[in-house]
Amino acid sequence: MSNTLESRNLTMLMDFYELSMANGYFTNGLQNKIAHFDMFFRKVPDNGGFAIMAGLRQLVDYLKNLKFTQKDLELFRRKGFNEDFIEYLRDFKFSCDVWAIPEGTPIFPGEPIITVKGPIIEAQLIETMILLTINHQSLIATKANRLKRASGDRMVMEFGSRRAQGFDAAIYGARAAYIGGCDATACTIDERDFGIPAVGTMAHSWIQLFGDELEAFCAYARQYPHDCTLLVDTYNVIKSGIPNAIEAFKREVLPRGFRPKGIRLDSGDITYLSKKARKMLDDAGFPDCKIVASNSLDENIIRDMLVQGAQIDSFGVGERLITASSNPVFGGVYKIVAVEDENGVPVPRIKISENVQKITTPCAKKVYRLFDKESGKAISDVITLIDEEIDDSKPYELFDPNFTWKRKVVENYVAKPLLIQIFDKGKPCYDCPDIKDIKKYCNEQVDTLWDEVKRFENPHTYYVDLSQKLWEEKKKLLDDFAETMK
The 3-state secondary structure of 286-307 reads CCCCEEEECCCCCHHHHHHHHH
Phi first, then psi, for residue 450 (nearest 5°) are -65, 150
Cβ neighbours, 10 Å, residue 297: 24
Residue 11 domain-assigned? no
Nearest-angstrom CA–CA distance, 363 and 387: 11
How many angstroms separate the CA atoms of 155 and 327, rounded? 23
CA dihedral 334, 338, 341, 346 (to 10 degrees): -130
Mean pLDDT, rounded, of the chain = 96
pLDDT digits (tens, 9 = 90+) for 112-163: 999 999 999 999 999 999 999 999 999 999 999 999 999 999 999 999 999 9
Same domain membership, residue 99 and residue 128: yes
Give the C-alpha separation, 291 to 230, whole Å.
Answer: 10
| pLDDT average, residue stretch 175-195 | 98
Please indicate, yes or no, if residue 8 is contained in any of the structural domains. no
User: Do the beta carbons of residue 176 and residue 138 sit within 8 Å?
Assistant: yes
- Angle at the Cα of 50 from the Cα atoms of 44 and 56, rounded to 5 degrees: 90
Last residue of a domain, one of 322, 339, 372: 322
Q: Dump pLDDT digits (tens) for 145-159.
A: 999 999 999 999 999
- pLDDT band at residue 403 using 50, 70 and 90 as cut-offs: confident
Q: Domain ends where: 297, 322, 347?
A: 322
Handedness of CA 421, 424, 428, 431 (dihedral sign): negative
Asked if residue 37 has pLDDT above 70, the reply is yes
Query: Residues 6 or more apart from 84 whose CB is under 8 A from it?
Result: 26
Flag whether 45 is in a domain: yes
Is the domain of 230 the same as that of 173?
Answer: yes
Count of residues in the chain: 486
Contact 289, 260 (CB under 8 A): yes
Strands 229-231 and 184-185: unpaired
| 5 occurs within a structural domain | no
Strand order of the sheet with strand 464-466? Answer: 413-417, 365-372, 378-385, 464-466
Q: Do residues 352 and 424 both lie within one domain?
A: yes
Domain match, 364 and 312 both:
no
DSSP 16: H
Backbone angles phi, psi at 197, to 5 degrees: -60, 125
Question: Do 302 and 420 lie in a common domain?
Answer: no
Q: How many CA atoms lie within 13 A of 369 on its CB side?
A: 19
**Does residue 343 share a domain with residue 248?**
no
Based on the domain organization, do 311 and 334 belong to the same domain?
Answer: no
Q: In terms of domains, do 420 and 367 share one?
A: yes
| Residue at 6 is within a domain | no
Closest CA to 80 of 124, 27, 120: 27
**Burial letters 402-422, b for 16+ CB under 10 A, else e:** eeeeeeeebeebebeebbeeb
Residue 272 belongs to a domain: yes
* 282: in domain: yes
| Span of 106-120, 327-341, 345-359, 447-461 with lowest mean pLDDT | 345-359
Closest alpha carbon to 104 in 170, 175, 153, 159? 175
Per-residue confidence at 240, pLDDT binned at 50, 70, 90?
Answer: very high
Mean pLDDT of 459-465: 97
Is 4's pLDDT higher than 70?
no
Q: Quick one: DSSP state of residue 461? A: P
Three-state SS letters, 29-95: CCCCCEEEEEEEECCCHHHCCCEECCCHHHHHHHHHCCCCCHHHHHHHHHCCCCHHHHHHHHCCCCC
Q: How confident is the model at residue 190 (pLDDT cuts 50, 70, 90)?
A: very high
Does residue 2 carry a pLDDT above 60?
no
Q: Residue 147 belongs to a domain with what CATH number?
A: 3.20.20.70
Phi then psi for residue 380, to 5 deg, are -170, 160
78 in a structural domain? yes
Mean pLDDT score, 38-66:
97
The model's pTM is 0.96
CATH of the domain at 425: 3.20.140.10
Same domain, 469 and 389: yes
Percent of the chain whose pLDDT exceeds 90 = 94
Task: Quote the CA–CA distance of 360 and 41 in Å, as a whole number.
Answer: 11
Say whether pLDDT at 400 is over 70.
yes
Q: Count how many domains the chain has.
A: 2
Distance CA 281, CA 289 (A): 7
| 485 pLDDT tier (thresholds 50, 70, 90) | confident
Residue 196 has a CB neighbour count (10 Å cut-off) of 25
Asked if 342 and 202 sit in the same domain, the reply is no
Q: Which of 288, 322, 356 is the last residue of a domain?
A: 322
Q: Are residues 424 and 318 in the same domain?
A: no
pLDDT digits (tens, 9 = 90+) for 283-338: 999 999 999 999 999 999 999 999 999 999 999 999 999 999 999 999 999 999 99
Identify the domain containing residue 333 by its residue range.
16-140+328-484
Strand order in the sheet with 290-293: 184-185, 155-158, 314-317, 290-293, 262-265, 229-231
Answer yes or no: do 189 and 63 share one domain: no
